[in-house]
Chain A
Amino acid sequence: MNDYTLFLYPAAVAYHLAAVLSIQELIDRCNDYSRWIGGTILTGTLFVTLAIAGRWLTYGQGPFLTMYEVLISSLFSLSLIYGLAYAFVPITRIGAPFAAGTMLLLFFWAAETDPGIRLLPPTYETPWLWVHVIFGKLFLGCCLVATSLGVWLITPLKRFVRSVRYMWVPQQIERQVWIWLSIAFLFHSAMLIAGAVWAQDAWGRYWDWDPLETWAFITWLCMAIALHLRSVYHLGPRSLSLLAMGVFVLAFLTFFGVPFISINPHQGAV
């Protein structure tokens, strides 16, 4: 085991604590744990940052290529984005159990994945890679926030809530779901454009319908369809939340499922 991977374990403890506290907060009538929950999520982010920095310093390259690298970098970005949303947008706090659970899932997945290193191909040495990856992480982070709120509308969890701080009106939650999903759509579009510019310079084609490109495009289309459907049909909060969750599941499979088909995030693009 490498030294840097040791930082991931305190991060997992922090996420676990955040999940337990966030459930406790919902059913506790009196006590306010929100500071502790926000603190533990951001502490987890700090430990993941240390793990990534340690790996970066050890091998001299960023976490862009292997499944393990995609998982730990996503763990970092998801927990940072959700942690910031938790701190500054109080309504997003009801999604903490789902968000912390997702982070724990990513941790266990990363723990089971080979942390071996592969040299970055020369085509990855471009600022467009950074732009592409940053927008991708922002997109997934916003999707996580939207889905963690949407879960609330389609499950009977609200029956168990006793804390008055979490008695949000469904319309307020629905509005937040669509705000986060719209922002995710913006970042997803920017990710596709940055990726196309990178691919054009690196491989001489801006689009090649490789599995990741195809599924990223389908995710974008689903978001576009969902946003249009919202304008056409008067769907209720439950239906809209199901649409939002569908987009998140698709995005999650695109980010973490397609690399099962291919060794590299982009098949054959080295």
Chain B
Amino acid sequence: MSESTMITRASRLKPGGSGGQRGEGRLKWLRPVASLRITSLGLLLLGAGGVVASRQSDAGQWLIIVSLLLLAINLSAALLSSPLFRVRPALFGMHVGLLLLALALAYGQLSRFRGHFEITEGQEFDPRQVIVDRQAALPTALPLEAAFAQGAIKIDYAPGMMRRQTRSRVVLANNREWTASEGQPLIIDDYRFYVTHNKGFSALISWWPVQGGSPTHLGSLHFPSYPRLAPMQTLSWMAPDGTALTFEIRPTNIPQDDDWTLSGTMAEALLLVTLNGLTTRLQPGEAMRLPGGMFRFEGVKMWIGYRIFYDPSLYWCFASALIVICCLAVHLAGRYLRKPKTNITLADTGKVTI
């Protein structure tokens, strides 16, 4: 149905200068802003923004924001001034849902936080270890330190190095246990922690300075990602006294024709330490003396990478999108499933049934 027909129908619904019509008169100045031509232009701009954004360009983000702003203004004006929405409540609901969706997306853009970090089995979450990928424009606070402790990490593989399910057990601050896996993130205070395919072995090391005293726990040293970089399980480490060391571990061979599970037990609990070309084999609990102190090898564990995503608008976006879909369905059902009217009114003869 054309816009002009709808306007005629709407004015027919409110005869005799009702309050609605007076309101319509007041909002007449909004009509040009509510033009469907502006809507089409906004949608075209939004499409152009999408194409530019798909090329990982910042200009695309700005184009999307500008077009969304234009569409939001255009839609708000239309919702207030267009008589079409007064005779089609489902269509009105759908467009209100779209406006809410645009607002939720804009709020999400301003408050979205992205980061990543690596954590070793047995280690507690430390917000200071998080590398920020995208800082939110609005202030956000990461969950407190020790919000969870990392438990056992297991990754199933099918023959041919095909990665299957990742199972990363964590213990939350309230002692509740959770297994994070693909499609099942850990959620703490609206922060969503996603397991990544980045994982490997780490060596736990303690350090004693030469003067004695209590050991300084240095934590874990992460070897390169495994099994993606299986032949390169070495790393260089500069001890606190300035001694340069090379560490190496030797994981057991990967079964080629069977299903297998990657876990901390796959690496032989043996650390090969190379100092000045001389290699020493350390078992867990064994120590090595250096000029400025001594370090002790505590064992081999697994580390895993997490991505953090925070966007408080997620549920609002989903709810708005559901409103859009439901109202659109009701609108279409009302428009196309309704039986055509069989009664028409003729000006001179009254009601005639055809």
Contact = CB atoms under 8 A, between A and B. Distances in A.
Interface in B297-354: 307, 309, 314, 317-318, 321-322, 324-325, 328-329, 332, 335-336
Contacts of A179: 336
Chain A facing B: main interface SS: helix
Interface string A106-137: 00000000000001011101100000000000
Interface residues of A, number: 39
A209 B194 contact: no
B40 to A, nearest CB: 5
B43 A125 contact: no
B183 A234 contact: no
B63 interface: no
A232 B307 contact: no
A141 B23 CA distance: 44
A218 B50 contact: yes
Contacts of B3: 231-232
Interface stretch (B135-143, B146-154, B158-166): B158-166
A225 B192 CA distance: 36
Given A122-B182, A189-B328, A234-B2, A228 B162 contact: no
B107 to A, nearest CB: 14
B185 A232 contact: no
Given A221-B46, A225-B43, A228-B43, A123 B51 contact: no
A206 B185 CA distance: 14
Given A210-B54, A225-B44, A231 B2 contact: yes
A214 interface: yes
Contacts of B51: 214, 218
Nearest to B108: A206
A234 B332 CA distance: 21
B314 A209 contact: no
Interface size class of B (residues with CB under 8 A): 35 or more
B325 A186 contact: yes
Given A125-B183, A183-B332, A234-B2, A190 B43 contact: no
A262 interface: no
B47 interface: yes
Interface in A183-238: 183, 185-186, 189-190, 193, 196-197, 200-206, 209-211, 213-214, 217-218, 221-222, 224-225, 228-229, 231-232, 234
A266 B166 CA distance: 21
A102 interface: no
A228 B46 CA distance: 15
B47 A218 contact: yes
A82 B335 CA distance: 22
Contacts of A210: 54
A228 B40 contact: yes
A34 interface: no
A264 interface: no
Contact of A119 (B36, B54, B162): B162
B321 A232 contact: no
Contact of A204 (B39, B47, B192, B328): B192
Contact of A126 (B47, B53, B183, B309): B183
B290 to A, nearest CB: 42
Given A209-B60, A225-B43, 19 more contacts: A119-B158, A121-B163, A122-B164, A122-B166, A123-B182, A182-B332, A185-B328, A186-B329, A186-B332, A189-B324, A193-B318, A193-B325, A202-B183, A209-B50, A218-B51, A221-B44, A221-B46, A221-B47, A231-B36
18 contacts: A122-B163, A122-B166, A122-B182, A179-B336, A189-B321, A189-B324, A189-B325, A193-B321, A193-B322, A196-B321, A204-B309, A209-B54, A217-B47, A218-B50, A221-B47, A221-B50, A225-B43, A225-B44
